Amino acid sequence: MTASDPRLCAWVVTALLVVLMMINFADKSVLGLAADPIRKDLGLSASAFGLASSAFFLLFSICGAAVGLLADRIRPKWLLLAMALLWSVSQAPLALGGGLAVLIASRVLLGAAEGPAFPVAQQTTLSWFPNHRRNLPGALIVLGITLGVLVAAPVLTWVIHHHGWRSAVAVVAVAGVVWALLWIPFGGEGRYGTDSPALAQGAETATGPAARRTPYRRILATRTWIGATIAYFGTYWVIAFALVWLPSYLQDGLGYSSTTSAQLLMLVWGMSGIVVLGQAGLTGWLLRRGTASRWARGGAGGILMLIGAAACLALPWAPAGAVTVVLFVTGVALSGAMGSVAATTVVELAPADRRGGSLGIMNAVVTTAGLIAPTLIGHLVDAHGAGGYRYAIMITGALLLLGGSAAVTLIDPDRDARLLPA
């Protein structure tokens, strides 16, 4: 692979970043997959386990914003390499032993290292593609989340059952090191990034050559950035819920066996991946036909979220059986597309030299959902038993309703990009 073969470079980098997100979410999913063994081994209540899960997000958001800003000044290639190595190192003490204190410390450091991964990965892969070609690579980065869980669920479950949950932690740590060794020779940024010669000549920016050095505060004050952030917050709430509590919800809240629960988890994440790719294909088709991003991105993503919200709000009142499964899968799967929509929308809106910071700050706000959701749901379960999951699903439906409404009514990058230089 050489610089004279930019299309091959673009897809090799994208493939590596998809794998990075797979490892990223395999790291996150370990606690959810091993919830019962960890709680039994360490003697944790639901609230304590929820607190340990939320500890992952203690520095996640802050570091996401800080490194996002650095990504506008330091090559994202080296930032991603440092993150991958750090999150592997952070899991070593937990793999070797320790109790609740080591669990929390390991998850805090892991969260600090992984917090910037998604926005920097999106910034890097999208730097290889022009605006009208960004939907598929952006969606593939989001698909890495789904693939990470789909691969991690059977593999890590087998490791947990046969070798213990600490061995599962060791497996994902080693995977991060292997990825870093591949990233060194093959990783890098494309010509549509902030350091592109074409950009320096004003050939390809989101808002035109006059929009250099736009203050971050102006970008963050746009209706598009606000709408994308609110919508993505709802999506991330679902992700945090799914990673930490979904296996327990299926077994304790809906009464499914562990085997059926595993099958439903695979179905949910598989459908989520199909939705992400389908949304990317629809959005790309609409953009190529001249449809404004307001509808091609905000409208498509927002409508999917609104359907998911309706499914979640109906779920607590549905009779057990096929209806419950349909509503459950619909509610969780349809909410996932907004991660790709939010990232490509902000990259379209922000000037090239402000994309890393704009994505990083959005990710910092959004991922506070990961800090709140596991702890809140743990308290609801401790207070109401299995009935606590009903309240959790209703809260989730309300957040998806808010996010879908924000996406449909606020996102309009064409309008806001024109206003930024004024």
Three-class secondary structure assignment of 305-346: HHHHHHHHHHHHHCCCCHHHHHHHHHHHHHHHHHHHHHHHHH
Residue 289 lies in domain: 6-185+215-419
Q: What is the DSSP letter of 214?
A: -
Q: What is the pLDDT of residue 97?
A: 83
Number of domains in the chain: 1
Copy the structure tokens of residue 307.
């359907």
Q: How many CB atoms lie within 10 A of CB 96?
A: 11
pLDDT at 14 (0 to 100): 96
Rg for the chain, CA atoms, rounded = 20
Cα three-residue angle 160-58-158, rounded to 5 degrees: 10
pLDDT in tens, 129-183: 988 889 899 889 988 888 887 888 788 889 998 998 899 999 999 999 999 999 9
Asked if residues 72 and 212 have their Cβ atoms less than 8 Å apart, the reply is no
The token duo for 178 is 């292997």
DSSP 131: G
Q: Are 205 and 193 in contact (CB under 8 A)?
A: no
pLDDT tens digit sequence for 267-287: 888 898 899 999 999 999 999
pLDDT of residue 201: 33
Question: How far apart, in whole angstroms, are the C-alpha atoms of residue 150 and residue 161?
Answer: 17
Averaged pLDDT for residues 374-378: 87
Q: Is residue 202 part of a domain?
A: no
Query: Is 328 inside any structural domain?
Result: yes
Tokens of 372: 């709140």
SS3 4: coil
pLDDT at 80 over 60: yes
Mean pLDDT rounded to a whole number for the chain: 87
Residue 3 has pLDDT above 60, yes or no: no
What pTM was estimated for this model as a whole?
0.79
* Token pair belonging to 138: 């952006």
Establish how many alpha carbons lie within 13 A of residue 304's alpha carbon, considering only the half-sphere containing its beta carbon. 33
Residue reference for tokens 């009935």: 387
pLDDT at 263: 84
Residue 229 lies in a domain: yes
Record the tokens describing residue 222, joined without a space.
């746009």
Q: Which amino acid is at 44?
A: L
Give the C-alpha separation, 240 to 262, whole Å.
17
Calculate mean pLDDT across residues 56-68. 85
- Who contacts 101 (Cβ-Cβ below 8 Å, separation ≥6)? none
pLDDT in tens, 184-205: 999 999 888 643 333 333 334 4
**372, 356, 396: which is closest to 58 by C-alpha?**
372
Q: What is the sign of the dihedral through the CA atoms of 171, 252, 332 and 406? A: negative
Residue among 52, 57, 59 at smallest CA distance from 100: 52
User: Which CATH number does the domain housing residue 281 bear?
Assistant: 1.20.1250.20
Is 192 inside a domain boundary? Answer: no
Judge whether 54 lies within some domain: yes
Q: Tokens 């969780």 identify what position? A: 332
Closest Cα partner for 52 from 27, 35, 33, 40? Answer: 35
CA atoms 367, 370, 244, 266: torsion sign: negative
Report if residue 201 sits inside a domain: no
pLDDT exceeds 60 at position 356: yes
What is d(CA 249, CA 256) in angstroms, rounded to the nearest whole number? 9
| pLDDT at site 211 | 41
In the structure, what pLDDT confidence band is assigned to residue 53 with cuts at 50, 70 and 90? Answer: confident
Question: What tens digit of pLDDT does each residue of 211-234 get?
Answer: 457 899 999 999 999 999 999 999
Domain annotation covers residue 413: yes
193: helix, strand or coil: coil
